[in-house]
């Protein structure tokens, strides 16, 4: 009897977390939800990366930590997106929420083969983006700086491609064709 009761607690927690993830996986934002500006240190150098420097690009802002299993699982997919779509206007940006130094995060990035930029996040950035309660959490931002989706949890390359593809396709103006009679 005690074994059954001991199992109910962890199972109940897993069910609640699963339900939460199922219902909160992607959040569509309203047109008023503009991404907030930031200027934060890059892990790879003494320079800073600002949101303004990314204007005109589709931005995939990925909040992660080096110790998170889901984050580690997702990184190769983010790297694949970066390699495939960077030249088409996609900017994948990692935001480390680690307490570790930027040197430690840089070592992690090197071991994982990350070539997209990584910045060191802070509490203000987390607040500016409405809170990050689970990791990984990503924000998909269109070329005009509007947050289109909040994605909670790790995704595969195919899932991420479906999410970003519609924003990468340039808007084509309909051409009026004159018919001669």
Q: Which domains does the chain have, with CATH numbers?
A: 31-168 (3.40.30.10)
Model confidence pLDDT, tens digit, residues 169-178: 764 443 444 5
With a cut of 70, say whether residue 77 has pLDDT above it. yes
Which pLDDT belongs to residue 95? Answer: 98
**E strand residue ranges, the chain:** 26-28, 39-41, 48-50, 58-64, 90-96, 118-120, 137-141, 147-152
Question: What pTM was computed for the model?
Answer: 0.77
Which pLDDT belongs to residue 8? Answer: 53
With a cut of 50, say whether residue 99 has pLDDT above it. yes
The mean of the pLDDT values for the chain is 83
Which pLDDT belongs to residue 110? Answer: 97
């Amino acid at each position: 009897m005690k074994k059954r009761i001991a199992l109910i607690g962890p199972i109940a927690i897993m069910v609640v977390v699963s339900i939460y993830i199922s219902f909160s996986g992607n959040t569509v934002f309203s047109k008023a939800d503009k991404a907030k500006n930031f200027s934060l240190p890059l892990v790879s150098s003494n320079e800073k990366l600002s949101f303004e420097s990314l204007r005109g690009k589709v931005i995939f802002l990925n909040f992660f930590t080096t110790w998170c299993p889901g984050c580690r699982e997702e990184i190769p997919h983010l790297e694949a997106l970066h390699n495939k779509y960077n030249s088409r206007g996609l900017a994948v940006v990692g935001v480390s929420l680690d307490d570790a130094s930027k040197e430690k995060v840089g070592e992690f990035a090197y071991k994982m083969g990350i070539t997209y930029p990584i910045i060191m996040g802070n509490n203000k950035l987390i607040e500016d983006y409405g809170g990050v309660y689970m990791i990984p959490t990503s924000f998909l931002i269109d070329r005009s700086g509007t947050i289109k989706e909040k994605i909670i949890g790790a995704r595969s390359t195919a899932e991420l491609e479906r999410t970003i593809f519609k924003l990468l396709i340039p808007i084509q103006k309909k051409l009026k064709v004159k018919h001669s009679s």
